Amino acid sequence: MSVAVDGRVQAPFGAREARVVARERHGAYTVLRCADPAGPRPQAGQFYMLRAAERWGGGADERPYLPRAFSVLRAPAESDELLFLVEDVGPGTEQLCALHEGARLAIVGPLGVGFAAPRDGRTALLVGGGVGIAPLALWQDQLGEDTVPLLGFRDGDHAAGAALLAEPKIATDDGSAGHRGLVTELLVRELDERSHVEVYACGPPPMLEAVRALCAERAVPAQLALESGMACGYGACFGCVVQTTGGYVRLCVDGPVIDAALLPTALTPGAGH
Amino acid sequence: MSVAVDGRVQAPFGAREARVVARERHGAYTVLRCADPAGPRPQAGQFYMLRAAERWGGGADERPYLPRAFSVLRAPAESDELLFLVEDVGPGTEQLCALHEGARLAIVGPLGVGFAAPRDGRTALLVGGGVGIAPLALWQDQLGEDTVPLLGFRDGDHAAGAALLAEPKIATDDGSAGHRGLVTELLVRELDERSHVEVYACGPPPMLEAVRALCAERAVPAQLALESGMACGYGACFGCVVQTTGGYVRLCVDGPVIDAALLPTALTPGAGH
Amino acid sequence: MTPIDFCGIELAHPIINASGTFDAVAARRAFGDELLARFPFAAFVSKTVTLAPRQGNPAPRLWELPAGLMNSIGLPNKGLEGYLAHDLPELARLPVPLIVNVMGFSREEVTRLVSAFAQRDEVAALELNVSCPNVETGLVMGADPDEVARLLSVVRPLTGKPLIVKLTPNASDVPAVAMAAEREGANAVALINTIRGMALHPRTGAPWLGGTTGGVSGPAVRAIALAQVRSVSEAVAIPVIGMGGVSHGRHAAELIAAGASLVAVGTESFRDPAAGARIAAELGAAARPPRLSGQDILSLRG
Amino acid sequence: MTPIDFCGIELAHPIINASGTFDAVAARRAFGDELLARFPFAAFVSKTVTLAPRQGNPAPRLWELPAGLMNSIGLPNKGLEGYLAHDLPELARLPVPLIVNVMGFSREEVTRLVSAFAQRDEVAALELNVSCPNVETGLVMGADPDEVARLLSVVRPLTGKPLIVKLTPNASDVPAVAMAAEREGANAVALINTIRGMALHPRTGAPWLGGTTGGVSGPAVRAIALAQVRSVSEAVAIPVIGMGGVSHGRHAAELIAAGASLVAVGTESFRDPAAGARIAAELGAAARPPRLSGQDILSLRG
Ligand SMILES: Cc1cc2nc3c(=O)[nH]c(=O)nc-3n(C[C@H](O)[C@H](O)[C@H](O)COP(=O)(O)OP(=O)(O)OC[C@H]3O[C@@H](n4cnc5c(N)ncnc54)[C@H](O)[C@@H]3O)c2cc1C
Ligand SMILES: Cc1cc2nc3c(=O)[nH]c(=O)nc-3n(C[C@H](O)[C@H](O)[C@H](O)COP(=O)(O)OP(=O)(O)OC[C@H]3O[C@@H](n4cnc5c(N)ncnc54)[C@H](O)[C@@H]3O)c2cc1C
Ligand SMILES: Cc1cc2nc3c(=O)[nH]c(=O)nc-3n(C[C@H](O)[C@H](O)[C@H](O)COP(=O)(O)O)c2cc1C
Ligand SMILES: Cc1cc2nc3c(=O)[nH]c(=O)nc-3n(C[C@H](O)[C@H](O)[C@H](O)COP(=O)(O)O)c2cc1C
Ligand code: FES
Ligand code: FES
C-alpha cells in the first residue's frame, strides 16, 4: 500500500466499483459493508467519495447528483472490506441507506490526510459526536494500544452507534444512555484526571469548536476531523475550503484532519450539520 | 362511471396514488397490475400518465423527469385493478419495469378518447404491432362479441405478448411464431376474405401508416391509436400534436384514437418508436 | 391563507399558472367539473394570444431534459378573433380572475391586441409576452430596455388594466429591462420565461425539435430563475411574479423571499394537474424563509 | 483516435478539461503517478490566473442542483508571480500541452498577464476568461462585443500564441461577442461558462453561497450549452471549444455535431476524476451524429 510523503494513503485514479456485501442497522445509523478489491487499506481519518452506481438521483429536489463524502468506519486489515457509517440526513444518504446487498457503488478513495500518531507517547482521547464516531473507530483499531473513547449522542437510538467502538464512555442529551449532557463534559473530566494526552475529535461543528477551545485553553494537542460541503474530494473544485491561521485550505486535500492549533474556529459554514 | 359527451371517461382531477400489486413478465414485456381504488373504469384506447411516486429519475441522461403515457391493457370490470403493458425502451420504462409489488405510482387518467364501437355491426379487426397490442386487449374484452386479432412482433420473445389476447393470428419478422412477415400481410388476407369490417390498429408508425393506406385504398373504416411524445397528457402543453386534414390536433385530448380518414399520414415525427 | 392584493386584484393565495402551461378548456374536458370545484390557481393566465391565428411549430415539440423540459411549441393559438369568440367566454366562467397574455410581432400588433381587451370586464389584467424564445421578435424585444420602453409608451395609454411585462431570461441585463418597463408604467413584471436550448436527434444528429431550438423549463432552471427574480426585485418597486422550476411550496417560498409577490407554476403542472393547489398548501404550511435583510441585499450591490 | 490539430497544437483526442474543474497538482497528491500515466485530458487548461493573489469567496462555495452544481469559488489563485514560481514548473511536467487561463480586472491587467506568458515555451496557448459570473467585470466585459473587441485589439499584438476567448452565456447575443473576438484576431472561442444562479439557506432564507450568487454547471445546462455552441459555431470560422454538462461521449459528439472542434469536461470530473478518459473513449466508439447538413443550418437562420 503506497503512502505518500505527507502520510496520506493515495487512491487509485478514477472512480471504481465496490459492492455492498451487507447492510446493518445500528439504531439511527446504517453500516454499509463494501467489498473494494481494487483499493488500498486506508488510514484512519481518510474518507471516500461514494455514490450509487445506478440511478443516483431522483430524490428530494431531484438530488443527489454529486458523490458524497464518508469517513471509513472500519477497514479490516486481512480483507478487502470497507465499512461506512451512514446517517440519513438528506437525499444522498437516504439513497445509500436504502441500498441492498449486492448493490454497486462508484467510489473514489481513500482521500485526504488522516490522523497522525499521538505526539511523544501521549494517550489518545477519542471524542466523537453522532456520526462523527466513524473515523474514531478505525483509529482505535489502528492505534491498538489504550485509547479512551468519549462518545456523545442525541438520544438512545443514536447511542446504539457507541457499540462500534471498544469500551466507550457515553453521553446523551436526553440521558437515555450514559451521562446526561454533552460529551465535552466527559472530556473535561478526563482532562482533569490525565495530563499526557492527545485529543482526536470528530462531530458536529459546535462540538468540535468546544473541543478546540477546551484544548487550546489547557494546551492539549488536538487533531480535529472536520466536515465541509464537497463536490470532488480531490482538490479539483476549491469548494470545500475552511479558514485556518494560514488562510483558506481545501479540506479534501489538506484535511479532513486538521491540527486544532491551526484553526481560529471549528465552526465551518455550510457543513450541513 | 362518468362518461363525457364526446365519449371519453373523465379522470379524477390531479395525480393520485396507485399501487403495484403484481408484476408479470411476458417475454420482452412487463405487465404491471395496479390497484386504483380512486379511479373510474377506463374505455379501451384511453391512456394514463404514469410515474413512480418515489425517486422518478436518476437514469440515463439523468432522466426520467416527466410522467409517461401508457394505454390500458386490461381493466377487469369487477375490480379496481388496472393492467399496463410496458416495454423497456428508455429510462422511464426501464424504471417502471423494475418496480416491485407494493411500489407506489403517481397516476393521472383515464385520458383521451378511446375506440368507438364498430359502425353498423361491422366485425372488428384488431391489428396490433409490438407493445401496440395493449389497447386492443381491453377493446377485445369490452366488445365481447367476435373480434379478429392480428398481431405482429419482432421475434418469439416479443410474440409472448400475443397470449394477452384471445385467439390471435400472429406474424413475426423472423418467423419464430406464426406467419413469417408483417402483420399487414395478415390484414390483407382478412380484407380479401371479409368485407363488412372495421379496423382498430395500434403499433409502430410504419405499421399504422401501412394499415391506413391499405384501408383507404379499400374504403374500410379504421380507427388508429397513435403515439406522440407527451409531457402532460391533458391538453396543457400543446406538445403532442399530430397533423390531421383539419390541421394539428393534440393527441392527448383529441386522440389517441383518430379516425384514419382524418390522417394524411400515420407517420408521427418523434413518436419514438 | 389570507387573500392578497395584486395590482388591485384580490387573490385567494399567491400561486397562479405560468402562461402556456395549463389549458383550462382542455382540462375541463379531461377532468370535468371537478377542475372548477378544485381549481388549483388563484388566477388564470391564458396562453399567449397573437393577432393572427398560429398553427405553432412542427412536431416534435418536446424534449425531456435532466430535471427539466425543452419545448418548441411555437405559440399555437386561434388568434385574437378566435380567442374572443371561443376561449374568452369559457375562461370568463372560471372561478378566478383572468389574466390574458398577448404577444405582437410589431408595436402595431400589440396595440391592437391591448386595445381589444382594454374594455373587457372579463379580463382582470394583461401580460405582455416580450420573451418567448421561440419567436424571433420575442427574443430581441425583451432583451433590449429601449425596445421595451418604446412598446410600453405606446400601449400604456390604451388601458387602465394592470399591465404585466413577461421578461426573457436570455438577456445580458434583465433588471435594466425591468426598470425600463417600470419607468414606462408597467404595473408588474413576470419572469423567467424559458431559456434558449437545443437537442439533437439521438440517431440522425439533426435538430430534434421542429422549431430547431426550444425553451428550457423545470427544476433545471430553478436556481437561474431565483437569481434573476432576486436581481429584478431589487431593481424595481412594482410587484414581481416569480417562476421557473417551482415544484414544491418550498421553492415558491424561496422566490417570495427573493422578492416575488406571486409565484407561477408551469412545468410541474405537467407532472400533476393539481400541483398548483398542492404548492399553495405547502406554501401556506411552510415556515417561509424571511425576506432577505437589508444587509443581505446590500451585500449584493456593487 | 487519430491526433487532431487545434490552432497548430497537436492533441491526442478532442477532450480537454474545463478551466477550474481539475487541479493537476492536487490530483497528483491524491492519486500519485497513476494520474500522469493515465492523464485523462488531451490538453490541460489551468484554473484562471489573476494578476494579484486571490483568497476566493467565503464558504460555503457549493450548492447542489437537480443534475447540476452551483459554485461561488471566486477565482482563488496564487496570482501571476505565485503561478510562475510554483504552478507553472509542475504543470510543465504534465504529459499534455498546457493552456493557461487568465483574467484581468482591466485591460492593463490582462496586458500584463498575457505578456508574462507570451514567451513561455511551457505554455501552448492562452485562454482569456471574460466570463466568470462571480466577478463583476467578467460578466460585463464578456457580455459586450465592443468591450471584447477593445480587449483583443490591445492583447492580440502581445503574443503569437493561440488566444482563446472564453465566452459568458449570460449575454443577450453571444454570437455577436464571438464575432467581435474573431474580428480582432482571437484564434478560438470557448463556451459555455457557468450560468448565473442563486440558492437560499434552507433554514434562514439568506443567500446560501458566500458569494451570494453562483454559477450553474453540469447536465442541467447541457441543452443551453448546445444551443449556444451551435449559434456561435455558425457565426465564426475559428475553432470552438464546446462545454457544458458533458458527462458521456454522446454529449461530446453532440457538441461536435453542433460545430465544436474540442470538447471540455468540467463538473463530471467531480463525479469521476477519470471521466475525461472515459468520455474520450466513448466518443471514439460512438457513431458520431454527422455534422448538421447545410439545410439544417439554413433552417436555423433568419
Ligand atoms: C470528510 C467528510 C467525512 C464525512 N463522513 C461522514 C460519515 O462517516 N457518515 C455520514 O453519515 N456522513 C459523513 N459526512 C457527511 C456527509 O457527507 C453528508 O451527510 C452528506 O453529504 C449529506 O448528503 P445528503 O444528500 O444526504 O444531504 P444534503 O441535503 O445534500 O446535505 C445535508 C446538508 O447539506 C446542506 N444542503 C441542503 N441542500 C443542499 C444543496 N442543494 N446543496 C448543498 N448543500 C445542501 C444542508 O445544510 C443540509 O443539512 C462526511 C462529510 C465529510 C466532508
Ligand atoms: C397514448 C400513448 C400510449 C402509449 N402506450 C404504451 C403502452 O401501452 N406500453 C408501452 O410500453 N408504451 C406505450 N407508449 C409509449 C411510451 O409512452 C414510451 O415508450 C415512453 O414514454 C418511453 O419513455 P422512456 O423514458 O422509457 O424512453 P425515452 O427515451 O424517453 O423515449 C423513447 C423515445 O423517445 C425519444 N427520446 C429519446 N430521448 C428523449 C428525450 N430526452 N426527450 C424526448 N424524447 C426522447 C426517442 O425517440 C426514443 O426512442 C404510449 C405512448 C402514448 C403517447
Ligand atoms: C410547454 C410550454 C409552453 C409555454 N408557453 C408559453 C406561452 O405561450 N407564453 C408565455 O409567456 N410563456 C410560455 N411558457 C413559459 C412559462 O410560462 C414559464 O415562463 C416557464 O415555463 C418557466 O416556468 P416553469 O419552469 O415552472 O415551467 C411555456 C412553457 C412551457 C413549458
Ligand atoms: C467549481 C468550478 C470552478 C470553475 N472555475 C472556473 C475558472 O476558474 N475559470 C473559468 O474560465 N471557468 C471556470 N469554471 C467554468 C467551467 O470551466 C465550465 O465553463 C463550466 O463548468 C461548464 O462546464 P461543465 O458543465 O462541464 O462543468 C468553473 C466551473 C466550476 C464548476
Ligand atoms: S471538494 Fe473539491 S476541492 Fe475539496
Ligand atoms: S401531452 Fe401536453 S398537450 Fe398533449
Inter-chain touch B111–C60, beta carbons under 8 Å = no
Chain D residue with minimum CA distance to B64? D67
Q: What is the pLDDT of residue A145?
A: 77
pLDDT-flagged residues of chain C (< 50) = 133-139, 288-302
Q: What is the pLDDT of residue D140?
A: 61
Q: What's the maximum distance between 2 C-alpha atoms anywhere in chain C?
A: 54
Task: State in Å: Cα A240 to ligand 5 middle.
Answer: 5
Question: Lowest-confidence range among C78-87, D1-10, D46-55, D247-256?
Answer: D1-10
Phi-psi region of A163 (alpha: psi -120 to 50; beta: other; left: phi over 0): alpha
Whole-number Cα distances in Å, D100 to B24, D17, D44: 58, 12, 8
**Nearest atom in ligand 4 to D217's CA:** 25
Q: What is the pLDDT of residue D142?
A: 85
Task: State in Å: Cα A177 to ligand 2 middle.
Answer: 55
Ligand 1 pocket by Cβ (under 6 Å): A 47, 64, 68-71, 85-87, 89-93, 131, 134, 227-230, 256, 272; D 63-64, 202
Chain D residue with minimum CA distance to A242? D59
- The dihedral over CA atoms of B70, B74, B77, B80, expressed in degrees to the nearest 10, equals -50
Chain B residue with minimum CA distance to A66? B58
Burial classification of residue D190, based on how many CB atoms lie within 10 Å of its CB (0-12 exposed, 13-18 middle, 19 or more buried): buried
**Nearest atom in ligand 3 to B231's CA:** 1
Q: From chain D, pick out residues whose CB is under 8 angstroms from the CB of C221.
A: 220
Inter-chain touch C273–B63, beta carbons under 8 Å = no
Per-residue pLDDT band for D296 (boundaries 50, 70, 90) equals: very low
- Min Cα–Cα distance to chain B from D67, Å: 7
Phi-psi region of B272 (alpha: psi -120 to 50; beta: other; left: phi over 0): left
- Min Cα–Cα distance to chain C from B194, Å: 37
Q: What's the maximum distance between 2 C-alpha atoms anywhere in chain A?
A: 52
- Mean pLDDT over D195-201 rounds to 97
- Min Cα–Cα distance to chain B from C47, Å: 10
Q: Which residues contact C218 (CB under 8 A, 6 or more apart)?
A: B65, C65, C67, C68, C69, C245, C247, C266, C267, C268
* Residue among D4, D80, D103, D97 nearest D45 (CA): D97
Inter-chain touch D254–C206, beta carbons under 8 Å = no
Active site residues of D: 132
Strand partners of residue C101: C127
Task: Give pLDDT tens digits for B83-113.
Answer: 999 999 999 999 999 999 999 999 999 999 9
Q: What is the pLDDT of residue D192?
A: 97
Chunked into runs of 10 residues, chain A (273 residues) has average pLDDT values of: 60 98 97 97 97 94 96 95 98 97 97 96 97 98 92 97 96 95 97 96 97 97 97 98 96 97 89 47
Q: Is the pLDDT of residue D37 over 50?
A: yes
Give the residue carrying C-alpha cell 436504502: A98
The distance of Cα C97 from the centroid of its chain, to the nearest Å, equals: 15
Q: What is the pLDDT of residue B233?
A: 98
Distance between CA atoms of C37 and D132, rounded to whole angstroms?
A: 50
Inter-chain touch D210–A8, beta carbons under 8 Å = no
Q: What is the pLDDT of residue B4?
A: 41
Q: What is the pLDDT of residue D176?
A: 95
Task: Give pLDDT tens digits for B159-216.
Answer: 999 999 999 999 999 999 999 999 999 999 999 999 999 999 999 999 999 999 999 9
Backbone angles phi, psi at B35, to 5 degrees: -95, 120
Q: Are strands B16-26 and B29-35 parallel, antiparallel or unpaired?
A: antiparallel
Q: Are D281 and D13 in contact (CB under 8 A)?
A: no
Q: What is the pLDDT of residue C103?
A: 94
First to last CA, chain D: 37
Q: Is the pLDDT of residue D13 over 60?
A: yes
Task: State in Å: Cα A16 to ligand 5 middle.
Answer: 19
Of A10, A228, A270, the CB nearest to D30: A10
What is the ipTM score, two decimals? 0.95
* Residue among C251, C272, D106 nearest B17 (CA): C272
The distance of Cα C227 from the centroid of its chain, to the nearest Å, equals: 17
- Mean pLDDT over D25-42 rounds to 97
Q: Which chains touch C (3 or more CB pairs under 8 A)?
A: A, B, D
- Min Cα–Cα distance to chain C from D199, Å: 6
pTM: 0.95
Distance between CA atoms of B198 and B124, rounded to whole angstroms?
A: 5
Q: Which residues contact C48 (CB under 8 A, 6 or more apart)?
A: C19, C20, C75, C77, C101, C102, C103, C129, C132
Rounded percentage of chain B residues whose pLDDT exceeds 70: 96
Type and span of the H or E element at C181: helix C174-183
What is the grid cell recorded at A80? 478487502
Q: Which chains touch B (3 or more CB pairs under 8 A)?
A: A, C, D
- Min Cα–Cα distance to chain C from A63, Å: 9
Distance between CA atoms of A13 and D30, rounded to whole angstroms?
A: 8
Task: State in Å: Cα D61 to ligand 5 middle.
Answer: 10
Q: What is the pLDDT of residue D138?
A: 43
Chain C residue with minimum CA distance to D210? C299
**Nearest atom in ligand 6 to B233's CA:** 1
Pocket lining: A239 vs ligand 5, CB cutoff 6 Å:
yes
Residues 2-61 of chain B whose Cβ lies under 8 A from any Cβ of chain D: 61
- The dihedral over CA atoms of B12, B17, B22, B28, expressed in degrees to the nearest 10, equals 80
**Nearest atom in ligand 2 to B112's CA:** 1
What is the dihedral sign for C-alpha B40, B41, B46, B50?
A: positive
The CA-CA-CA angle for residues B11, B12, B15, to 5°, reads 100
Cis peptide before C60 (omega within 30 of 0): yes
Question: Lowest-confidence range among A115-124, B36-45, C150-159, D124-133?
Answer: D124-133
Task: State in Å: Cα A203 to ligand 1 middle.
Answer: 13
Question: Lowest-confidence range among A106-115, B3-12, B62-71, C80-89?
Answer: B3-12
- Mean pLDDT over B225-247 rounds to 97
| Average pLDDT of every residue of chain D | 92
Directed axis angle between helix D107-118 and helix D145-155, to 10°? 40
Phi-psi region of B102 (alpha: psi -120 to 50; beta: other; left: phi over 0): left
Inter-chain touch A55–B56, beta carbons under 8 Å = no
- The dihedral over CA atoms of D82, D87, D92, D97, expressed in degrees to the nearest 10, equals -100
Distance between CA atoms of B150 and D157, rounded to whole angstroms?
A: 75
Q: What is the pLDDT of residue A6?
A: 59
Q: From chain B, pick out residues whose CB is under 8 angstroms from the CB of C34.
A: 12-13
User: Which DSSP string corresponds to B143-208?
Assistant: H-S-EEEEEEESSHHHHGGGGGSSS-EEEETTSSSSEES-HHHHHHHHHHH--SEEEEEES-HHHH
Q: From chain D, pick out residues whose CB is under 8 angstroms from the CB of A108.
A: 272-273
Pocket lining: D218 vs ligand 4, CB cutoff 6 Å:
yes
What is the grid cell recorded at B121? 355491426
